[in-house]
Amino acid sequence: MKSQVDVRQRILAENESRAAGIRERFAAQGTLVLNLISSPGSGKTTLLEETVRGFAPRHRMGVLVGDVATERDAARLQALQIPAYQILTGGACHLDARQITAALERIDTDELDFLFIENVGNLICPTAYELGEDFKVALLSVAEGDDKPFKYPAIFSRARATVITKADLLAHTAFDMQAVREQIQSLQPEGALLVTSTREAPGIDAWLDFLSGALAAKREAAGG
């Protein structure tokens, strides 16, 4: 179906161009922009809640969050007194750069160290749409099983970091961490693998250190 391919290529090209504008804007102000991608229920919002708590008052962060329906996730983040805005896709399975550009009119991002974009819960569709991020972060909950990187190679090969969430469930599931480590290593040899649980302490500090390091690297590269 040639026309379907043509339409998709035009859409992706338009999206790239808008994403480049977003990237330029945040490069100029030294804000690190991350695109968080995972299945529904992997714990993206919960990880962000813990990130807000862990970073305050050291770093300022804002969040744009995408969902098919409900404003629940943005409300959870706004309750923590950070700028957060809900993008409702009305059925679409991923965010695009046009939606990000429009949403950026709705929150104040001038003084942010980090802008997190929490994509729609979906391991497939968000992968192809650049949103102006510095890099993608994939989340994988222990409850989802250890076979997912090879089943969804597009996202796990493009994510600079993979965050394993809900590690407190390791004792209650058959999840082979070494198998996941090997799949990630094969798909993205340069990628970081972080293991977190927000119901228990371990892991969040390593995630915060990873973020601080990436922010410092961006600012150093910009000569700031």
Q: Which is nearer to a copy of itself, 33 or 195 (CB)?
A: 195
How many residues would you count in the chain?
224
Q: Is 44 in the site for a copy of itself (CB under 8 A)?
A: no
d(CA 45, CA 64): 11
- Number of residues engaging a copy of itself in binding (CB under 8 A): 39
Binding pattern to a copy of itself, positions 173-192, x when CB under 8 A? x-------------------
d(CA 189, CA 101): 32
**Residue from 166, 184, 191, 204 that binds a copy of itself (CB under 8 A)?**
166
Cβ–Cβ under 8 Å, residues 183 and 156: yes
- 3-state secondary structure (DSSP) of residue 24: helix
**Residue from 16, 75, 172, 221 that binds a copy of itself (CB under 8 A)?**
172
d(CA 92, CA 206): 33
Q: Count CB-CB contacts under 10 A for residue 174.
A: 8
Among candidate residues 174, 155, 214, 164, the one with its CA nearest the CA of residue 47: 164
User: Which pair of structure tokens corresponds to residue 100?
Assistant: 């990000």
**Candidate ranges 29-37, 38-46, 107-115, 213-221; the one touching a copy of itself (CB under 8 A):** 38-46
Q: Is 69 in the site for a copy of itself (CB under 8 A)?
A: yes
Binding pattern to a copy of itself, positions 70-89, x when CB under 8 A? x-x-----------------
Cβ–Cβ under 8 Å, residues 179 and 29: no
Q: Could you tell me the smallest distance in angstroms from the CB atom of residue 9 to a copy of itself?
A: 12
Instruction: Point out which residues bind a copy of itself (CB under 8 A).
Output: 1, 3-4, 7, 11, 39-42, 67-70, 72, 91, 93, 120-125, 141-145, 147-148, 150-154, 166, 168-169, 172-173
